[in-house]
Amino acid sequence: MNLTISMNTVLNFLHSMALSTSNKQWLADHLYEEVKAEQKAAATTANG
């Protein structure tokens, strides 16, 4: 099954969950760490 979800839909879903500030911080931290790891891997691949 192929599923496409817009980022606005994801954000609206998160807002509907009424997350606490600490939950939002946890989510942001983990997303940011994943982005940094992916960028590092892409840079390593690009540099050979």
Average pLDDT over all residues of the chain: 90
pLDDT band at 1 (very low <50, low <70, confident <90, very high): low
Q: What is the mean pLDDT of residues 8-26?
A: 93
What average pLDDT does this structure show over 31-46? 93
pTM score = 0.69
44: amino acid identity, one letter? T
Angle of CA points 20, 38, 32, to nearest 5°: 20
- Report angle CA 42, 25, 41 to the nearest 5 degrees: 10
DSSP class of residue 47 equals T
How confident is the model at residue 45, as a pLDDT? 86
Give yes or no for residue 2 having a pLDDT over 80: no
And the tokens for 18?
């009424």
Pure H helices in 3-20: 7-16
Q: pLDDT band at 22, cuts 50/70/90?
A: very high
